[in-house]
Each structure stands twice: as structure tokens, then as C-alpha cells.
Structure 1
Amino acid sequence: MKKIKSILAISFLGLMALLPLSWAQCLGIRLGRYFYRQGDKNKWYRFTQSNIAHCFPELSDVERQAAVQASLIETGKSVSEMGMSWLWPPQRTLKKIVKIHHEELITNALAKGKGVIFIAPHLGNWEVLNLYLSNKYSFTAMYKPPKQPAMDKLIKRMRARLGSRMAPANVQGVRMVMKALKRGEMVGILPDQEPDLESGVYVPFFNSPALTMKLLPQLAAQTGASVVCGFAKRLPDAQGFEIYFYEGDPDINQKDVSVAAAAMNRTVEHCVRQAPWQYQWEYKRFSSRPEGEVDIYQ
């Protein structure tokens, strides 16, 4: 069954790669509207609805529904852009990046010689961002290998096309990341997926306790590396992408892991608020709850 799923997924990517970006995004819009029309029958609708209601309580019912639809449309675009992100020749994809903001944050941080920890939330098109960073810098990216071996092989090959190294989210991968930081290079970590309970700490994210990884703030404290956050914002009407870089909250380097993890979440939240409906709200970010807290996905 896993092999069949891999074949179907790779075939889908191949078909999407045949489309120009404008067509792919039109298909993504249709997908997003389909998810929205399904309502509670669609899990992505349910999770998006719950997350947005939880994180943006100030929205009226009408505003919240508009946000849910906008978010699901962006989710559909993320799906339909995967062929472009993974299978187009890298230079063709890179031409879709039309502007870069605040890149001096990276170059100045690298000049300090202690390495850079790059926070890459699931916001906009993170595969385009990975290509850009891999094209310009010595870059090691941590990732969670998928269960299908064929998909894992494809991901590693495609993400490493421009020389970046892929570090699995395990002990071996942590060693790779530490060595890269000691060389004064940049490493990329996805900060907004729930870790195992023993690997995380509950700290605020959009004013709600969220199980958050300890690894990134621990690395920052141990190495003294600079922390930069960034994302590739999707522009309307298939105009391409703009990349934004922001300095990490100063408390990310604190030795107190709860203080540092909360600072990391504030950094991510700041980026998310720049393009809120391009965030991965269909993910169950608040799946684990502290004792006594209500399950928001019921």
C-alpha cells in the first residue's frame, strides 16, 4: 500500500510540474474552494476552522469564515505548487523570486563566525525558500523523513539539488547540524511541528500553550549561533514570491529552555502575522494539550 501511495504522489508531482505557475495556482484555488465547500466532512476544513477560531478570537463569524476560505485556498496552492518546487529545474523556480527583504541579517550573522540557525515556519512556499538558501549558502536542513521510502528518496534528492545537506530529525541529524554550526555555516529547522512530549515544552503560541521543540533553543544557547527567521510569501495572480528575513527574538539564546522556546514562538508568530492565511493552519498545531486544557479539535 505504501508503494502505491508513493507512486500516486510522484505521478501527481509529475503532472503538476507540467503546468506553468499560473495554471498550477488556478488548480490550487479550485482545490481550496473544494475543501471549503466540503465543510466539516473535510479534516483540513475542520482543523483550519478550529485553529483560526482559537488563534484569532477577535474575528467575527463572517471574518472567520472568510479567513478559513482564504487559508484553504492557500493550502490548495501549496499542494499544486509542489511540482514546480520539486521537479522544475532549480534556476527556473528561482526566477519566480522577484524580491528579497533584509538579507543583510543573514550575511551579517554569518560574518560573526558562529553559524546561523534559520527558522523556517510552514508559511508561504517553504520549498522555494529552501532552494534560494541552498543556492546562496552552505546549508544543512533538518527534516522529518516520510514513511514511504520512495518519497524520502525523492525529497532528499530534490531538496539537495543545489548542494544543501539533508539531516534527518534524529541523533545523526543533530550531529550533522552541530558540525555545520561549528564550521560557521547555516542550518535550517522547521520550528512549528509538535515534537514528542519528552522533546518539547508547553509555551505560548498565539496566546495559547503549544507543545514546542526544545532542540532549536538548546542549539542556540549551546553554540551562540545567530537566529534568523524567514519565509517565501506567495504573491497574488501568479506574480511569483518575495522572500522576507527577520531577526530572531533576543531571548532565543537564553539557557532557560522555556524562555527560549517562547521567544522562538514569538518569532514565528511575527512572521505568520505578515501573511496570516498562508500559514499551515490545516495542521493540528495544538493537538497535545497541558493537563486540564480542552481539546480544540473535538
Structure 2
Amino acid sequence: MDRPVFRRHFLHPRFWPLWLGLGLLWLVVQLPYAVLLRLGRGLGALMYRVAGARRRIAARNLELCFPQMPSAERERLLRENFASTGIAFFEMAISWWWPRERLARLAHIEGLEHLRQAQAEGQGVILMALHFTTLEIGAALLGQQHTIDGMYREHDNPLFDYIQRAGRERHNRDATAIERDDVRGMLKVLRAGRAIWYAPDQDYGPKQSIFVPLFGIPAATVTATTKFARLGRARVLPFTQERLADGSGYRMVIHPPFPGFPAEDEAADCLLINQWIERVVSACPSQYLWAHRRFKTRPPGAPKLYD
């Protein structure tokens, strides 16, 4: 995709409320990081009260994935998850607007040698990530250290889309934004020896998926990771990130590649991925995006799991 370009019609009065909101947000995120964490937790507490539909989805997912956990512990985890979601709102703005040097102080990155080795060998990389609430700021911090291309879906509001893309791409001037459905573009990038961020942990429907257990539940799991790795001749490097409890920033880890991936059997690859997802999410459940209906698509004849 082309670089984001400012358009004169962004100054039309219909965009003034959004400009005002963005301006206020810019002012707020100049506050110290510790203050923004507290503000985010407060926003999350408000969201917990007013976002009933998302709260019910997240609560149901926690019930499905951690059935042995006491209900009081799940409720505590649910509230922490909304606090993390509230913090993510300010992390988004931090990643867009903080000076690069100030932002870089939050980064604790491990495993960059795996990316650099693949680059030195001219091999493309699928940076296999998950939808954690720290997704936006993690991508910005990693992008300061290594060029990472990304899958992209255009926002309905053109002004917000411009601000979002400009904020993301300022850390990664050489990066390419690829439309989510542009398979040919993704393969071209991989075959050119570049790295692309990709997350296979959501329910994209039955068309490109097979049912593989996730937390003991048959889950529609995309086979695209295997296809992209095979057709793009790419290495798959798992990538994890978490917000550190001591307020010092974010730990991001680029892990060694899965051995023998991709295999001949797509189901075996999907199972390997889902088992990895279980381990990673279980290690940091409060920061995962539980508000997504991960088990919406069901095997034929199976009952629905959400209201």
C-alpha cells in the first residue's frame, strides 16, 4: 500500500469532533508513564461497567478455557483483563506520538538474533504473534529495532485511518502495509526475505479453517500459517510480548523457529500452534484479548457457546 497522505478534506467540519478528541488524547499522553497506567486502569474499570456485551463474551471465554479455576478467581482475572484493555487505549497513543527516544526506553527485547539470522540468510519470516492488549505498542517497539511488515485492514473513518497509519509507520519507515486479503502481496514480501507480523489466533470462519482443540474445545483454526510458510519459503518465529508488572515497560521475545515447521500435515501444524497459544496465554491471561468470540464457529451439529 502507498504511504498515508494528508488530504485537505480532513479539515472539513465533520472531522472536527475527531480532531478535538485526538488533540485531547495527545495532551493526556504527555503525562508520565506511571500516571497513564493508572488512568488506563480507571478507563478499564469504566469499560467493565458499561461494555456489557464484551464483558459477557470475555467472561464466557474465561469460563470455557479455565473451567477448573474458581469463579472468584475468574472474576478477578476478568477485571484485570479490562484494566489491561483500558491501558491499551493509552498505549496506542503512546506508540503513535511519544518521541522515539522516550518510547525506546520501555523496550526489553530478546531474541533479535533469530530475525537477523533469517535476514542474513535471505529468508522471509512469519513473526507469529497473538492478539494481546499490548499488540499496538509491542509492534511499535519492535519496529524501532527491525523492519516488520504488517497485515492491515483500512479503518472506516479516513481521518482515523490516516492518523493510525502515520503513527504506526513512523517507527518503521521501510515497512509495507499489506491488505489482510492480499495473499499474493504477502507471499511476495516473504519471498523477498522480509519479516511480516501475523496472528493466527482468531476465528475467521470455516472457509479457511479446520477444527483443532484449543483449551480442550474444537476451534476453527486457520491453516494459512502453514500455507504462507510453505509457499513463501519462510521461517516461522513465535513472538510474545507482555506489559511488565513493575512499570518498567514491555518484555518482547522472538523465540526460535518451530522445528520441522511446516509439516506435511496441516492439522499437525495447527495443533502445534494451538498448543503454543495455550501455553503463552496461560502464562499471561490478564493481557489477552478475551473479548473476541474465539469459539463462534462450531463443528456441524455442535451447540453454540455464546448467547
TM-score by length of 1: 0.87
Q: Aligned-pair distance for 1:279?
A: 0.5
1:143 aligns with 2:191: no
Count residues in correspondence.
292
Listed as ranges, the gaps of 5+ residues in structure 1 are none
1:55 aligns with 2:74: no
Q: Secondary structure at the match of 2:54?
A: helix
Q: Give per-residue Cα distances to partners, 1:70-92, cap 9 Å, x unaligned.
A: 21111111123221122222332
CA distance in 1, matches of 2:261, 2:38: 39
Q: Give per-residue Cα distances to partners, 1:69-124, cap 9 Å, x unaligned.
A: 12111111112322112222233212111x22333332333344321100121125
Q: Give per-residue Cα distances to partners, 1:136-192, cap 9 Å, x unaligned.
A: 223211122222222222222221112221111122xx2332222112121111222
Which amino acid in the other structure matches residue 105 of structure 2?
Answer: K
1:29 aligns with 2:38: no
CA distance in 1, matches of 2:226, 2:16: 39
1:272 aligns with 2:259: no
1:160 aligns with 2:169: yes
* Identity of matched residues, %: 28
Q: 1:234 aligns to what?
A: 243
CA distance in 2, matches of 1:294, 1:9: 43
Q: 1:46 aligns to what?
A: 56
Q: Secondary structure at the match of 2:252?
A: strand
Q: Aligned-pair distance for 1:129?
A: 2.1
Which amino acid in the other structure matches residue 152 of structure 2?
Answer: Y
The 3 A distance-change label for structure 1 pair 5 and 277 is farther
Q: Aligned-pair distance for 1:199?
A: 2.7
1:88 aligns with 2:93: no
**Which residues of 2 match residues 120-269 of structure 1 at below 5 A?**
120-161=129-170, 162-163=172-173, 164-171=175-182, 174-250=183-259, 252-269=261-278
The 3 A distance-change label for structure 1 pair 248 and 202 is farther
Which amino acid in the other structure matches residue 126 of structure 1?
Answer: L
The 3 A distance-change label for structure 1 pair 86 and 65 is same
The 3 A distance-change label for structure 1 pair 138 and 36 is closer
Q: Give per-residue Cα distances to partners, 1:117-136, cap 9 Å, x unaligned.
A: 00121125122221233222
Q: Secondary structure at the match of 2:207?
A: helix
Which amino acid in the other structure matches residue 273 of structure 1?
Answer: S
The structure whose residues are more often helix, as a share, is 1
Answer whether contact 1:115 1:185 (CA < 8 A) is retained.
Answer: yes
The 3 A distance-change label for structure 1 pair 190 and 166 is same
Q: Aligned-pair distance for 1:54?
A: 0.5
CA distance in 2, matches of 1:6, 1:170: 28
CA distance in 1, matches of 2:20, 2:55: 23
Q: Secondary structure at the match of 1:193?
A: coil
